[in-house]
Every structure is written in structure tokens, then in C-alpha cells.
């Protein structure tokens, strides 16, 4: 989740120690079996309180075939407005301006043969009325799976790469121009369902925009597609965003903490899309575009050239309230090295970049909005591939292929 390059940061050892202690408590005493007493009661209360914070009252509820429950929540009562900085916030229903080239044409030749319509799976079973936004409901079992109820939807300390660099593997490209600043970025991300070996590993495809203080990452805005059992309770590929304003100590995925202001009533964060791409067959993709409103400074997110999801208010950030200094696109997996071996968790399609169109996963239509407010392709990029015998990347200016199978003879 954190970008593969950029500054390191020291973490609060005391907090980490407490979390580790939490991990050591046997699951049976945390779980449903009600052996004992005060701890269980406290935990139950904490779970109920957290569920209440996360799940706002629904005006309508939709059951998706993938098991999700989608709550249509009054747009004015969404979680964002629990944030102390957003108490008096006036919702923007549109950006005050669109950057030039706002709507991207269907691009390139990678997936040119008649594209299937891509949609979220819960759409099979209903839609949210005007004036509401769809929010994927957090269930009790989601919280019980988390290492700490209070931290559900936030980054676990052992998931922060700078703390434990060797568990995170990357295949990414980065642009970080001397003195350059960024006001937006775009990618069309090929949609696959990579296999993930175990619940505490993930496989994702995303982009990062980061704001730094002398190389130390402070603010990020991130968006992409991920498979992550511990967060979602299954191995489907789901739309996600992430933001932090203090180097991954606060902030969260999607709308799991107050921050992101959603306006769209058709797309839900954390939801699944269908259909996935087929090896050697039809390819599907999700286009994600983040850009800064040049009047209010909010960072808008648009999905599939059509759905303006909403925005991260400028006031959440210190460095990104101006601009980003680095943009990164690519794949990341967590390798827990279970049994001392490399994970079999796949990246992308589970095939190496050399396999090319309809076999290797791609990012295409890579764009940035630069300091002159010009939408352009990436320039002077550098490639980061941390373990090329397991996952790799081949770049061709405004698109690249990336991925790999994880464990193999060459990746033991
Ligand atoms: C919200 O408005 C109230 C009343 O005008 C004011 O006292 C408070 O400081 C404002 N809060 C923020 C975060 O702007
Ligand atoms: C797209 O087409 C160009 C020119 O026809 C070709 O050079 C390039 O390899 C193609 N890209 C892919 C990903 O097929
Ligand atoms: C959702 O809709 C599909 C297609 O109409 C239907 O087959 C399915 O039973 C519905 N699922 C739920 C949970 O309502």
C-alpha cells in the first residue's frame, strides 16, 4: 500500500509493541466462544460501537450476489462529516473546473476488440436513489478478523513496508521530476483476479500520489483494485482508495474513516466488478482518474470516465493541499514467506510482463497533470522491480505490462 520508493519513517515503537501483544492473545479468547468475561464484554462493546460509527443508517439496502450488503446512506449523513475539520463542510456536487482532456477516449490497442460493459456486481440487485450514496456495510466478522477493532480499515503496522521491507514486493514505475509538481494522474488498470495464498497477504494494482517533507512520505492519495481477505473477507478483486496525512498513522481505506466525501450514487468503494479478464481472451479494465480542483483544492476521483465518486477535501492534507511531488503506478504483493518459502500469491494476471497483450496484466493511458496544468504522459520514469524472478514489468511510455506467478523454480 505504501509506495515502493521515497522516504523512510520511524514508527512509534510503543504502539507497535502494544499491537504485537494484541496479536499474542489466543484467538479463542477474542472470538465468539464466550469463555471469559470482562475482556469479551469490552470487546463486544467496542465492536458494536465501531459498527455504529462505520455503518450509517440506510434509506435502502441492497443484497449483492457476492455477499456484500450495500447501504444507501443519506449523502448528508455520510461518514466524512464525522471529521472535526468537515463539521461545516458544504458538499461540492461538481468540481469547479475540469482539467483539459477530462474525458479520455477509449485508448490504445491493448484491449481494442469490443470491450464488454463493466459494472459492479451489486448492480444486478438494485440501485441507490438520488440523494444517497452506496456504502459497503462492515460486518461484525470483519471487525473480529482485524488485529484491533479500533484499527479496522486502517493500515496494520506489519503492513507498512518501511517497517518490514522484505514482505512487500513491487513492480512499479515512478515519475518524480526535479522541481516538478503534480495535480492529477490517470490509469486504466486491467482487471484480473490474482490468486492470493493466505488471508494476511494482498495483491493489488494501484497508483499513488505522494506529498513529502524532505523525502519522508506524509500525505498520500491512492486508488486501485485489490484482493485482500483480511480487509474484505473474501478473495475477490475490489475497488479501493486509501489516504493518509501523517505517514500512514491515520487515514484509511475507502470511507472506513471520516475523510473522503462521496457524491456518486452508482459506484461503491470496496465493491467487486464483473467480468474479470480472461487469459488469452476478453480483457476488462477500470479507469481511475484523480485531479485537483483548482479553486477549492479538493482532490476528485473519477471512475471509468463517467462516475465522479467524490473528493478528498483539501483541508485533510498539509503537503497535498498544494500538489504532489511523486506519482507511481504498478503492482504490489505481500509475501509472508509462510513455511520459509516465497508466497504463491500472484501479481497482475499471474503471468510475467513478456507474455504481452491479453496474457500479462497492463496499465495503460498513463497520464499526469503537471505544473503547467497540462495532461501528459509520464516522462523520465524509473522502474522499481524488487524481485524480478517472481514479478516483473516492461514499460512502453504510456503503458506497461507487469506481474508474475510468485513462487516457482526461479522464485523459491
Ligand atoms: C463551524 O461553525 C461553527 C459555528 O459557526 C464554528 O464555531 C466552528 O469553529 C466551525 N468549525 C470548523 C471546523 O470550521
Ligand atoms: C500497439 O500497436 C503498435 C503499432 O501498431 C505496436 O507497435 C504496439 O506493440 C502495440 N501494442 C500492444 C500492447 O499490442
Ligand atoms: C440478485 O439478482 C439476480 C439477478 O436478477 C438474482 O438471480 C439473485 O437471486 C439476486 N440476489 C439477491 C441476493 O437478491
| pLDDT of 109 | 47
The strand ranges marked E within 233-321 are 238-244, 252-253, 261-262, 273-274, 285-292, 299-303, 307-312
What confidence tier does 17 reach under pLDDT thresholds 50, 70, 90? very low
Q: How many CA atoms lie within 13 A of 329 on its CB side?
A: 33
- Answer yes or no: is the C-beta of 124 below 6 A from any ligand 3 atom: yes
pLDDT (tens digit per residue) in 241-281? 999 999 888 899 999 999 999 999 999 999 999 999 999 99
By residue count, the chain amounts to 412
What would you measure as the largest C-alpha separation in the chain, in angstroms? 63
Residues 172-215 have pLDDT tens digits of 999 998 889 999 999 999 999 999 999 999 999 999 999 988 88
pLDDT of the residue at 101: 66
Distance CA 288, CA 272 (A): 15
Nearest-angstrom CA–CA distance, 384 and 393: 9
The predicted model gives 105-132 an average pLDDT of: 76
Q: Where are the domains of the chain?
A: 39-403
Sort 172 into a burial class: Cβ within 10 Å, 0-12 / 13-18 / 19+. Answer: buried
Locate the ligand 1 atom nearest the alpha carbon of residue 87 and give its number. Answer: 13
According to the model, what pLDDT value does residue 324 have?
96
For the stretch 121-143, pLDDT in tens is 999 999 999 999 999 999 999 99
| 63 phi/psi in degrees, rounded to 5 | -95, 125
Residue 222's SS3 state is strand
Helix ranges restricted to H, 354-400? none
- Is the preceding omega at residue 275 within 30 degrees of 0, hence cis? yes
Top pLDDT among 11 and 234 is at 234
User: For the residues 13-25, what does the mean pLDDT come to?
Assistant: 33
CB atoms within 10 A of CB 130: 7
pLDDT-based confidence at residue 114 (cuts at 50, 70, 90): low
Selected catalytic residue, list 175, 201, 222, 236: 222
**Cβ proximity of 294 and 373 under 8 Å:** yes
| Positive or negative: CA dihedral 158, 160, 162, 166 | positive
Query: pLDDT band at 12, cuts 50/70/90?
Result: very low
So what's the pLDDT on residue 183?
Answer: 96
Residues linked to residue 310 through DSSP beta bridges, in sequence order: 262, 301
> CA-CA distances (angstroms) from residue 400 to 193, 348, 357?
18, 12, 10
Mutation to probe ligand 1, out of 80, 83, 87 (largest number of atoms < 8 A from CB): 87
Q: What phi, psi does 15 have (nearest 5°)?
A: -65, -45
User: Is the CB of 85 within 6 Å of ligand 1?
Assistant: yes
Set 188, 201, 236, 332: catalytic member: 332
Helix (H, G, I), strand (E, B) or coil at 63: strand
Indicate the SS3 state at residue 22: helix
Residue 230 has pLDDT above 70, yes or no: yes
The answer to whether the CB of 412 is under 6 A from ligand 3 is no
* Residue 160 DSSP SS3: coil
Joined together, the cell numbers standing for residue 391 give 514479478
For residue 286, what are the β-bridge partners?
189
The pLDDT assigned to 7 comes to 36
Which pLDDT tens digit goes with each residue over 301-324? 999 888 999 999 999 999 999 999
Output the nine-digit C-alpha cell for 91.
Answer: 458538499
Ligand nearest, relative to CA of residue 113: 2
Handedness of CA 117, 119, 122, 127 (dihedral sign): negative
Mean local confidence (pLDDT), 337-357: 97
* 56 close to 73: Cβ distance less than 8 angstroms: yes
354 in active site: no
pLDDT of residue 3: 67
295 Cβ below 6 A of ligand 1:
no
Q: What global pTM score does this model have?
A: 0.85
pLDDT class for 20, splitting at 50, 70, 90? very low
Q: What is the DSSP letter of 37?
A: H
Confidence (pLDDT) at 188: 94
User: If we measure between CA atoms, which residue out of 186, 179, 189, 228 comes closest to residue 209?
Assistant: 186
Residue whose C-alpha cell reads 473522503 in the numeric block: 260
Q: Is 35 in the pocket of ligand 1 (CB under 6 A)?
A: no
Coil vs helix vs strand at 40: helix
More confident residue, 294 or 344: 344
* Residue located nearest, by CA, to atom 9 of ligand 3: 65
Residue 61 in contact with ligand 3 by CB distance below 6 A: no
Place of cell 455504529: 52
| pLDDT in the model for residue 165 | 60
> Is the model's pLDDT at 29 over the cut of 50?
no
pLDDT bin (cut points 50, 70, 90) of residue 8 is: very low
Q: Residue 209: which H helix or E strand, with range?
A: strand 202-213
Residue nearest to atom 2 of ligand 1 (CA): 88
Active-site residue, 332 included: yes
The DSSP element (H or E) to which 399 belongs, if any, is strand 399-403
Mutate to test the pocket of ligand 1, among 82, 83, 86, 88 (most ligand atoms within 8 A of CB): 88
Nearest-angstrom CA–CA distance, 398 and 240? 23
Q: Closest Cα partner for 207 from 283, 291, 144?
A: 291
**Domain covering 39-403, topology:** Jelly Rolls (2.60.120)
DSSP SS3 for 117:
coil
N-to-C CA span, the chain: 24
- Whole-number Å distance between alpha carbons of 363 and 223: 13
The mean-pLDDT minimum among 29-33, 51-55, 336-340 falls in 29-33
Position 16 scores a pLDDT of 34
Scan for cell 526535479, then name that residue. Answer: 178
Amino acid at each position: 500500500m505504501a509506495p515502493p520508493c521515497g522516504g523512510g519513517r520511524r514508527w512509534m515503537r510503543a504502539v507497535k509493541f502494544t499491537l504485537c501483544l494484541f496479536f499474542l492473545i489466543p484467538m479463542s479468547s477474542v472470538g465468539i466462544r464466550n469463555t471469559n468475561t470482562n475482556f469479551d464484554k469490552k470487546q463486544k462493546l467496542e465492536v458494536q460501537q465501531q459498527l455504529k460509527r462505520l455503518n450509517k443508517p440506510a434509506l435502502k439496502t441492497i443484497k449483492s450476489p457476492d455477499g456484500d450488503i450495500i447501504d444507501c446512506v443519506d449523502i448528508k449523513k455520510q461518514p466524512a462529516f464525522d471529521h472535526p475539520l468537515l463539521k461545516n463542510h458544504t458538499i461540492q456536487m461538481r468540481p469547479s473546473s475540469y482539467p483539459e482532456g477530462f474525458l479520455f477516449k477509449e485508448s490504445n490497442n491493448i484491449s481494442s476488440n469490443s470491450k464488454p460493459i463493466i459494472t459492479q456486481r451489486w448492480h444486478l440487485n438494485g440501485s441507490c436513489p438520488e440523494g444517497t450514496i452506496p456504502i459497503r456495510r462492515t460486518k461484525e466478522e470483519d471487525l473480529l478478523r482485524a488485529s484491533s477493532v479500533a484499527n479496522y480499515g486502517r493500515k496494520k503496522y506489519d503492513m507498512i513496508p518501511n517497517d518490514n521491507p522484505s514482505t512487500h514486493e513491487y513492480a512499479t514505475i515512478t515519475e518524480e521530476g526535479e522541481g516538478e509538481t503534480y495535480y492529477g494522474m490517470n490509469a486504466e488498470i486491467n482487471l484480473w483476479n490474482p490468486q492470493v495464498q493466505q488471508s494476511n497477504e494482498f495483491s493489488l494494482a494501484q497508483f499513488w500520489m505522494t506529498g513529502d517533507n524532505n523525502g519522508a512520505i506524509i500525505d498520500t492519495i491512492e486508488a486501485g483494485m485489490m484482493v485482500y481477505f483480511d480487509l474484505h473477507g473474501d478473495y475477490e478483486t475490489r475497488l479501493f482508495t486509501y489516504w493518509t496525512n501523517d505517514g500512514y498513522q491515520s487515514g484509511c481505506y475507502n470511507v472506513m474513516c471520516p475523510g473522503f466525501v462521496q457524491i456518486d450514487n452508482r459506484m461503491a468503494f470496496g465493491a467487486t466488478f464483473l467480468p474479470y479478464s480472461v487469459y488469452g481472451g476478453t480483457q476488462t479494465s477500470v479507469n481511475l482518474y484523480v485531479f485537483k480542483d483548482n479553486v477549492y483544492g479538493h482532490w476528485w476521483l473519477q471512475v471509468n470516465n463517467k462516475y465522479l465518486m467524490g473528493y478528498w477535501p483539501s483541508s485533510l492534507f498539509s503537503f497535498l493541499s498544494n500538489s504532489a511531488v511523486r506519482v507511481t503506478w504498478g503492482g504490489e504483493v505481500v509475501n509472508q514467506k509462510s513455511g520459509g518459502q516465497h508466497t504463491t500469491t500472484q501479481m497482475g494476471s499471474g503471468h510475467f510482463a513478456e507474455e504481452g497483450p491479453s496474457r500479462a496484466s497492463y496499465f495503460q493511458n498513463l497520464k499526469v497533470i503537471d505544473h503547467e496544468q497540462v495532461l501528459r504522459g509520464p516522462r523520465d520514469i524509473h522502474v522499481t522491480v524488487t524481485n524480478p524472478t517472481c514479478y516483473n514489468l516492461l514499460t512502453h511510455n504510456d503503458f506497461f505490462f507487469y506481474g508474475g506467478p510468485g513462487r516457482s523454480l526461479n522464485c523459491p
